[in-house]
Amino acid sequence: MAGRGRGQLTFSVEIVGIGKGENLPPSSVQPTPLFPPLAQKPVPLQTGEEAEYMLALKQEFRGAMKTLPFYIRPAAPKKGQFGVKDELCHKHGFAYMVAESPAVPKQPKQPRVDKEEIIRKLETLEQKEEDGSSDEEEGEKKKPEEEEAEGEEGYDEEEFEDETDYIMSYFDNGDEFGGDSDDNIDEAIY
Amino acid sequence: MTAQEVRLCGLLLQEHFGNVVEKVGTHLIRSGVLTLRALAHETKLPLDLVKKSLCVLVQHGMCTFGAGRRGPAGPVEYRINCERVFHMLRYPRYIYTAKSLYGDTGELIVEEILQRGQMTMSSTVKTVADRLTHNMPEGQSMDYSEVVSAFSQLVETHFLQRCPLASAGSSSSGAVDTPLPVATQNFLVINSYDIYSTLSQGKRRRSSEDGEADQCAAKKARTDDSECGDDRIYWQVNFQRFHLHFRDQAIISAVSCKLDQSSSEIVRTMLRMSEVTTPAHAAFTQALSANEIFRALLSSYNIARPILDQYLSLLVDDPMEFVGKTGDSGGGMYVVNLHRALANLARATLESVVQERFGSRSARIFRLLLRKRHLEQKQVEDFAMIPAKEAKDMLYKLLSENLVQLQEIPKTPDYAPSRTFYLYTVNQLPTARLLLQHSYKTVGNLMERRLYETKENKRLLEKSQRIEAILASLQATGAEAAQLTEVEEMITVPERQQLESLRHHINKLDSSENQVDETIFLLKSYINSTQASR
């Protein structure tokens, strides 16, 4: 059935009914529409006592099946199974179970640190008021040292608090990353 | 399994059993047979969830298990029965049929058994009686014996059947935990342990056998009075029997539409007489003589003997060929042509589909091609009496929808186009299969749209449910009218309108599913009948 040239059809168009020189409808260059317009309106649904009763039966059955023990719901995630990540999961959803990205926000940690700092600031301010203005300068110098010491201690406490193998600094948001590698400037930084 | 069938199975499983069972079921359909371990590994679900899902599916008869490829020593393999999943679409119809035949009691029995897959007789009777008592006015209570008699009737007419004796049957949730009170110990216990054990040793689990076993057992153990020791006897719905009933109904209504009421009553009588004697896949019923039919006709129909003969000859001569004459003894031997009736009903469905989608002239062309088998383009135009251009247009539209096929008949061995006949033809069976797949797709689309509508308005639906719950609790505790109106006004008027239109849409979609299912049933019965006769 090989045609004697590329332009020749394998059958004579007259047979199928298209006359010579007749305009064929333009070929379509896109898929048919998702909701094509209907040429005829569809027949209306059956109504009547039987149809309505069966409708009611169907909906009742569906509702009843949801209450039976056969309707299996996926199990809720158990608490404490995944350690640190579990806490994050509860707050931020399951994305953190899958992606081990270091871009975990520090919000769970910051309030605690802030609270401690605030409490200590208040205490030192109280002390200041009691001691009087003579100790102001000493107090001011002591404050940043105390805060640093407090901050480090607090940091160390956090590491051991959850009893996990994860180092808390792992979850830093990478702000300190660029600052550490000043030694090897000749290596390309990607 | 076609893609549309798998999609529909998934939607049905999700609607009735939840996402987990849907995931397990869909994966098992796609893979064919799998062992438990392979299934758990591939679906990445925890093993206990997979086990629970399989239990649910086995309980409802949708999953079968057996010895795997490695023989009885290897792990058990599971397989999903897709047809059974599709039956879930038809549950309302089964329940409605039971109601029309056996009243509210029958309706509730079938509904309970469908909800739970398999149940023991005692637990079914108890649940149904409690439900009926709950709905009755104060002071009255439902008698257990009435429920028991309805149950026995369902068993005797084979609408309910015993579950095959397998270890899965004993692990169902239908087992009775607490002993029933003394008043209920009089009910019928099918004492068929002995009969059943001898039957099941033949290793054939065909449920038709079980139905017959209970038929004879029910006749024996009439007054057996033991405690509710039917813990291991589970009952399920016999879908095949319901399908035969639906088929008979379709034939009777077709006859009444085509001819008249009296002829349909005659056909109804003939079908009723041959209910128990005709096997499920038979092409025609047992031959019945006109004398027998006359005697079996109910007197309320008021059909005299010569009138009956006239009606029978009218039925035989009708081109639809519902009834055939096979002999002359006994006043004429008549049969109902079941397969031919199904084929005619399927053909009417196809013609109706073409008519409603493409117009009556395209339907005329379609019917012409069905009758005349093969026609050339010119002949189609002449026979259908439609101008050439329009006939061409319609033919091409039908051809593009695959409802009509083109057949080449060469005059010369080299298939030269100028020397080949091109004939249009319609093949009923492949077209029926095509429309069946379209129907599955349609039901899938309807269900997805319904889920979408429900999800879009989830907030509103939950709010209205909460308010209804509050109203109900307030009314129960006897609140004032002012409080009730205050609570009712928590839903604003536009929200009420939105809720109303949502309910209207969902009702329409549900109703459409029920009606598409009727088409599915007809087409599937026709396709099955052609396969059985091969």
For residue B141, CA distances in Å to B128, B145, B440 come to: 12, 12, 44
DSSP state string for A2-47: --SSTT--SS-HHHHTPPTTPPPPPPP-SPPPSSPPPSSPPPPPP-
- A58 pLDDT more than 60: yes
Q: B280, B268, B279: which is closest to B336 by C-alpha? A: B268
Q: Using an 8 Å Cβ cutoff, are B140 and B182 in contact?
A: no
**pLDDT 10s digits, B265-299:** 999 999 998 887 888 888 888 899 999 888 888 77
- State the alpha helices, DSSP H only, in chain A: 13-16, 49-67, 84-92, 95-98, 109-131, 136-161, 177-180
- A107 pLDDT more than 80: no
Q: Mean pLDDT over all residues of chain A? A: 65
Could you tell me the two tokens for B343? Answer: 């084929």
Which residue in chain B is spatially nearest to A40 when comparing CA positions? B357
pLDDT of residue A164: 65
A76 and B CB contact within 8 Å: no
The answer regarding whether domain B85-237 maps to CATH 1.10.10.10 reads yes
**ipTM confidence score:** 0.81
Place of tokens 């006939």: B391
Could you tell me the two tokens for B185? Answer: 């110990």
- In this structure, of B95-109, B159-173, B401-415, B481-495, the range with the lowest mean pLDDT score is B159-173
- B222 pLDDT more than 50: no
The predicted model scores a pTM of 0.73
Residues of B in contact with A58 (CB under 8 A): 91-92, 510, 513-514
For residue B374, CA distances in Å to B299, B395, B415 come to: 49, 13, 19
**Mapped to the 3 state alphabet, what secondary structure does B75-132 carry?**
EEEEEECHHHHHHHHHHHHHHHHHHHHHHHHHHHHHHHHHHHCCEEHHHHHHHHHHHH
Q: How far apart are CA B506 and CA B456, in angstroms?
A: 12
Q: How far apart are CA B57 and CA A70, in angstroms?
A: 9
Q: How far apart are CA A10 and CA B420, in angstroms?
A: 11
Q: How far apart are CA B77 and CA B65, in angstroms?
A: 6
H or E, element range at B337:
none
**pLDDT 10s digits, B205-217:** 333 444 444 444 4
- B160 pLDDT more than 50: yes
Could you tell me the two tokens for B68? Answer: 């795997």
- A161 pLDDT more than 90: no
Q: How far apart are the first and last CA of chain A?
A: 62
Q: Using an 8 Å Cβ cutoff, are B420 and B410 in contact?
A: yes
> Between A36 and B363, whose confidence is greater?
B363
Out of B173, B358, B417, closest to residue A69 by CB: B173
pLDDT of residue A184: 56
- B175 pLDDT more than 80: no
> What sign does the dihedral B197-B199-B205-B209 (CA atoms) show?
negative
Confidence of residue A162 (pLDDT cuts 50, 70, 90): low
pLDDT of residue B212: 44
CATH of domain B3-80: 1.10.10.10
Q: How far apart are CA A130 and CA A136, in angstroms?
A: 11
CA B50 to mean position of chain CA atoms:
28
Q: Where are the domains of chain B?
A: 3-80, 85-237, 239-336, 341-426, 431-533
Of the candidate CATH numbers 2.60.40.10, 3.40.50.300, 3.40.640.10, 1.10.10.10, the domain formed by B239-336 belongs to 1.10.10.10
Residues of A in contact with B116 (CB under 8 A): 68, 70
SS3 B273: helix
* A and B: number of Cβ contacts within 8 A: 102
The answer regarding whether domain B341-426 maps to CATH 1.10.10.10 reads yes
Q: Mean pLDDT over all residues of chain B? A: 83
Same fold for the pair B85-237 and B341-426: yes
Q: B67, B69, B63, B4: which is closest to B28 by C-alpha? A: B63
Q: Is A172 left (phi over 0), alpha (psi -120 to 50) or beta?
A: beta
- B198 pLDDT more than 50: no
Q: How far apart are CA B248 and CA B488, in angstroms?
A: 49
**pLDDT 10s digits, B234-245:** 899 999 999 999
Q: Using an 8 Å Cβ cutoff, are B422 and B376 in contact?
A: yes
- B511 pLDDT more than 90: yes
H or E, element range at B531:
helix B493-532
pLDDT of residue B233: 84
- B184 pLDDT more than 50: no
SS3 B388: helix
B301 and A CB contact within 8 Å: no
B417 and A CB contact within 8 Å: yes
> Contact B53/A72, CB-based, under 8 Å?
yes
Q: Using an 8 Å Cβ cutoff, are B119 and B228 in contact?
A: no
- B363 pLDDT more than 90: yes
**pLDDT 10s digits, B338-355:** 999 999 999 999 999 999
